Amino acid sequence: MRKNIVAGNWKMNNSHSEAVQLVGSIVNSIYDDAVQLIVIPPSIYASEIAKITSLSQIEVGVQNSSQYESGAYTGELSSSMIKSIGVQYVLVGHSERREYFDEQNVTLALKVNQLLNDGLTPIYCCGEILEEREKKNHFNIIKNQLEEGLFHLNDNQIQSCIIAYEPVWAIGTGVTASSNQAQEIHHFIRGLLVDKYGVAIAESISILYGGSCKPSNATELFANPDVDGGLIGGASLSAEDFIAIANSFS
Respond yes or no: is residue 94 known to be catalytic: yes
Least Cβ distance, residue 222 to ligand PGA (angstroms) = 14
Which segment (21-29, 45-53, 142-150, 229-237) binds ligand PGA by CB under 6 A? 229-237
List the catalytic residue out of 59, 103, 128, 166: 166
Beta strands in 10-131, from DSSP E residues, in sequence order: 35-40, 59-62, 89-92, 121-126
Q: How far is the CB of 124 from ligand PGA (least distance, A)?
A: 13
- Report the alpha-carbon distance of residue 250 to residue 248 in Å, rounded: 6
Q: Going residue by residue from 133 to 172, which x/- string records binding to ligand PGA, judged by CB under 6 A?
A: ---------------------------------x----xx
User: Contact between 9 and ligand PGA (CB under 6 A)?
Assistant: yes
Three-state secondary structure call for residue 23: helix
Residue 203 makes CB contacts below 8 A (sequence gap 6+) with 2, 190
Known catalytic residue at 166: yes
DSSP single-letter state for residue 30: -
CA distances from 168 to 50, 99, 116, 138 (A): 29, 10, 26, 11
Least separation in angstroms between CB 166 and ligand PGA:
6
Q: Nearer to ligand PGA by C-beta: 39 or 202?
A: 39
Q: Which of 109, 232, 244, 245 binds ligand PGA (CB under 6 A)?
A: 232
DSSP annotation string for 101-146: S---HHHHHHHHHHHHHTT-EEEEEE---HHHHHTT-HHHHHHHHH
Residues designated catalytic: 94, 166
> Rule CB under 6 A: which residues touch ligand PGA?
9, 166, 171-172, 210-213, 231-235
